[in-house]
Amino acid sequence: MSGVPSFAPASRDRLLALHRALLHPRVIEERMLLLVRQGALSKWFSGIGQEAIAVGVTSALDAGDWVLPMHRNLGVFTTRGVDLLTLFRQLLGRDGGFTKGRDRTFHFGHREKRIVGMISHLGAMLPVADGLALAARLKGTRQVVGAFTGDGATSEGDFHEALNLAAVWKLPVLFVIENNQYGLSTPTSEQYACRDLADRGNGYGMPGITVDGNDVLAVFQTVAAAADRARRGLGPALLEFKTFRMRGHEEASGTDYVPAALAADWAKRDPLARFERHLIEAGVVTRAQCDSERAILERETQDLVDLALASPEPRSSAAAEIADVFADRGRAEADEPSEEAVAQAPERRYVDALHGALRLALRTDPRVVLMGQDIAEYGGVFKVTEGLADQFGKERVRNTPIVESGALGAALGLALDGFVAVVEMQFADFITCGFNQVVNNLAKTHYRWGASVPVVIRAPVGGGVGAGPFHSQNVEAWFTCVSGIKVLAPATPYDAKGLLLAAIADGNPVLFLEHKRLYRSIKARVPDGPYRIPIGRAHVARRGGEATVVTYGAGVHWALRAAEALAAEGRDVEVVDLRSLVPWDVETVLGSVRRTGRALVLHEAPLTGGFGGEVASVLGSEAFEWLDAPVARLGALDTPVPFSPALERVFSPEDRLLTMLRSLLAY
């Protein structure tokens, strides 16, 4: 856009507000850059020269619309009216910031202002935007989501998964590309081969529009039109705003790799100076008024920065830090049915118990939404969700494309706007495609900025079905070392239902491991009504006095069979089913080993690096004085899971269990 369009007198106030919104982040940034030079601020990602995009996008959206900014989008926060003293404390790492000193710059969310900040893994927030947009759809509101990304992140898989998912579901998402010509030091000519990144929109069935990102009015008008289209149910848009990064990727990296002539050319297109010229030429303001406005903002900024710098450093304790890893809400109380009620309940298979839990959750809580590949009409690979789409509709039982990361990111977005997302992985092995969303987005959100993240990831695990290396893995050890995600592994139909209902009610990210060999091979009495098993409580599956087997999942059934075989030989083995790995019931396990004096820790996953090592370590230190033998460990071979059933028997620890128990008892 070459100039200011004609405007009615009533629009003068809007233009003045837009000017102030554009000036405000510039003034703050100039102060922050001074603090960097003074050593009072360790790092800064400058958005100078790009402010028109953040300000134009945010100004064009409604206050109720979600915005997902990046690290150069200070203008989003100032335009939305975020409390500046709190923001400056956040930026300067002082007490009273949005993350309590736990994360830096704009790595936080502000739900009242409808802002969800970034994590460092580029592209990761774009699927989250899909979830927020889906939440608006399910609530029946007209909210739109504006999600920022840089040109470099458009090469990330999350970019493509998010665009594809939004297009397929016709979600009201505006994907905003800030094309500032460089990904750190790599020019766009080495990042993509198309002429304009907006051209990619055609491939996803959405409009792609390229705009002068240094013209704030062009940005505003483009976003307003795209938002109106999205509100009318016509789906997402890909908006590419061409701009230039005038400073380093971050302040310390410099710009030596940028040709001087290129930088000089873009400096002439500075969005603030350009807009002020237009306003002055059109008679909206004078130069003196612009200078006066700047002086006012500089004084306000200086005063608030001084207050922020005078604030103390964050302080905490180990207990307080651990307490903030999970949201303490909705956790299951002891509401299990009586033994009499269980004895009178019908027998159900493991798969039927899971199905019953999901059906109950959908029926009793309208916030619950199921997502996954082929889970609607087909009922999922293992038919756990069969018939649920017919009963509750495809809005709440949703097929996704093959987008593991996209689905998990969307689950986070749903959770942030009040829903409970249950995502099915076809096989647990495929969760690797969404690993970042689990361990860096879902797991860390509550600790970083206090948002509850009620997301359950259902993951079929384990071998014994001849499925080979990529459909048979036990993945628990990949996640038990990640703070912020709970890990459950039920071994029985009764526990499967009670723990799944507890996971859905917990208010935190939960990885729910379902052993696929157990789906149709075991039965148990399962009450029809709702009940929840408290997360973190182990179950003594068999009482004994000579040794304790600590295990979970399929290992429980192996251990029970081995204990029965040893009982025929006159030996008495106790079996403790952990049920929950994070958190795990240390006291129940220690109590058992204190009684028996011997312990064997068993799991189906390979021995090295397995979760059993954690249990064995605790037993070795906390139960040492009661032990009559060294703590034993048994797991699978340290190989991938082989395809051949004969080879899988060699791989599995199942056939070695009885021999190892006899050795332990003989020690």
pLDDT digits (tens, 9 = 90+) for 318-347: 999 999 999 986 455 668 999 999 999 999
471 given a catalytic annotation: yes
Query: What residues make up the domain containing 351?
Result: 339-525
- CATH number at 660 reads 3.40.50.920
pLDDT of residue 608: 98
In a domain, residue 322? The reply is no
332 belongs to a structural domain = no
Please check whether residues 296 and 441 belong to one and the same domain: no
Tally the C-alpha atoms within 13 A of residue 580's C-alpha that lie toward its C-beta: 21
The DSSP letter of residue 396 is: T
Q: What percent of the chain has pLDDT over 90?
A: 95
- Final residue belonging to a domain, choices 497, 525, 553: 525
Number of H helices, E strands in the chain: 25, 23
2 found inside a domain:
no
Q: Are residues 241 and 370 in the same domain?
A: no
Considering 496, 525, 554, which residue would you say is the last residue of a domain?
525
Catalytic residue among 160, 471, 557, 603: 471
Q: Give the Cα separation of 556 and 114 in Å (integer).
A: 46
Cβ neighbours of 70 (radius 10 Å): 22
* Residue 488 bridge partners (DSSP): 512, 580
Across the range 175-198, mean pLDDT stands at 94
SS3 429: helix
| Cβ neighbours for 60, distance < 8 A, ≥ 6 positions apart | 219, 220, 221, 223, 224, 227
135 lies in the same domain as 281 = yes
Residue 201 counted as domain residue: yes
| Alpha carbon distance 100, 98 (integer Å) | 6
Query: And the tokens for 636?
Result: 């699978």
Token code pair at residue 112: 């009242």
The confidence score (pLDDT) of residue 333 equals 63
Same-domain check for residues 299 and 378:
no
Same domain (yes/no): 371, 290: no
| pLDDT beyond 70 at 9 | no
Strands of the sheet containing 66-68, edge to edge, are 109-110, 115-116, 66-68, 145-150, 173-179, 237-242, 208-212
Please report the pLDDT score of residue 253 as a whole number: 86
Q: What is the mean pLDDT of residues 482-502?
A: 98
pLDDT recorded at residue 262: 92
Q: What is the pLDDT of residues 19-37, one digit of tens each?
A: 999 999 999 999 999 999 9
CB 257 within 8 Å of CB 232: no
Q: How far apart are CA 46 and CA 558, in angstroms?
A: 59
Kindly report the CATH number assigned to the domain that includes residue 181. 3.40.50.970
Domain for residue 282, yes or no? yes
* pLDDT in the model for residue 35: 95
Q: Is 196 exposed, middle or buried (0-12, 13-18, 19+ CB in 10 A)?
A: middle
Contact 666, 632 (CB under 8 A): no
The predicted model gives 386-390 an average pLDDT of 98
* Residue 393 near residue 364, CB atoms below 8 Å: no
Question: What is the 3 state secondary structure string of 32-76?
Answer: HHHHHHHCCCCCCCCCCCCHHHHHHHHHHCCCCCEEECCCCCHHH
Residue 520 has pLDDT above 60, yes or no: yes
Residue 1 resides in a domain: no
Q: What is the mean pLDDT of residues 425-452?
A: 97
Tell me, yes or no, whether 518 and 544 share the same domain.
Answer: no
The domain boundary, picked from 265, 294, 310, lies at: 310
The answer to the question of residue 317 being in a domain is no
Which residue reads 């009684």 in tokens?
A: 595
Mean per-residue pLDDT, 471-475:
97
Q: What is the pLDDT of residues 84-114, one digit of tens each?
A: 999 999 999 999 999 999 998 999 999 999 9
Residue pLDDT, tens place only, 206-242: 999 999 999 999 999 999 999 999 999 999 999 999 9
Q: Return d(Cα 616, Cα 612) in angstroms, integer.
A: 6
Identify whether residues 418 and 362 lie together within a single domain: yes
Instruction: Determine the Cα–Cα distance for residues 368 and 287; give it in Å rounded to an integer.
Output: 56
CA dist., res. 250 & res. 252, Å (int): 6
Q: How far apart are CA 76 and CA 145, in angstroms?
A: 13
> Considering the entire predicted model, what is its pTM?
0.96
**434: pLDDT strictly greater than 80:** yes
SS3 annotation, 514-548: EECCCCCCCEEECCCCCCCCCCCCCEEEECCCCEE
Strand partners, 179: 242
Pairing mode, strands 486-488 and 420-424: unpaired
117 lies in the same domain as 65: yes
504 and 548 together in one domain: no
Tell me, yes or no, whether 119 and 228 share the same domain.
Answer: yes
Whether 156 is in a domain gets the answer yes
Burial (Cβ within 10 Å: 0-12, 13-18, ≥19) of residue 619: buried
User: Which pair of tokens denotes residue 4?
Assistant: 């200011």
Q: Are residues 520 and 559 in the same domain?
A: no
Same domain as 233, residue 144? yes
3-state helix, strand, coil in the chain (%, to 5): 45, 15, 40
Give the mean pLDDT of the chain. 95
Domain count, the chain: 3
